Amino acid sequence: MNIDARGPRFGAVVTTVVLAVVLITGSAWLLAWQTLAFALGAAAGVGRSPYGLLFRHVVRPRIAPPTQFEAPEPPRFAQAVGFVFAALGLLGYTVGPEWLGLAATGAALAAAFLNAAFGYCLGCEMYLLVRRVAVRTE
């Protein structure tokens, strides 16, 4: 079942803000929250992630019905990629080295910003590339 394409983009906007605040404040607790949000999005799907639920129950009832839909697998994969970078960032902020926390969080922020500002989901594109390569090797 396809999902409203605006949901993952809304999640990317929230994620962009959260990760920017993490970089400004160095808050490992806030990065831990974002890591959990990514983990839930990867495990349960973007519609069941905290930001997906916020979109579904608060934002979507107040906007026009969706006109664009997308498959849920690419955004779910993107959440898994985000989880890896956020987990590395959390490791860097809590155990060290700090540059790892900054670099991994910055990379996750860049990917989230691309989706939020331009609708370009880097993790989704990675998913599609991996899928095309897997089909060619079969």
pLDDT higher than threshold 80 for residue 61: yes
Please state, in angstroms and as integers, the Cα–Cα distance from residue 4 to each residue in 1, 60, 68, following that order: 10, 9, 6
Which pair of tokens denotes residue 50? 């905290």
Q: Report pTM.
A: 0.94
* 108-122 per-position pLDDT tens digit: 999 999 999 999 999
* 15-60 per-position pLDDT tens digit: 999 999 999 999 999 999 999 999 999 999 999 999 999 999 999 9
- What residues have CB less than 8 Å from 84, skipping those under 6 apart? none
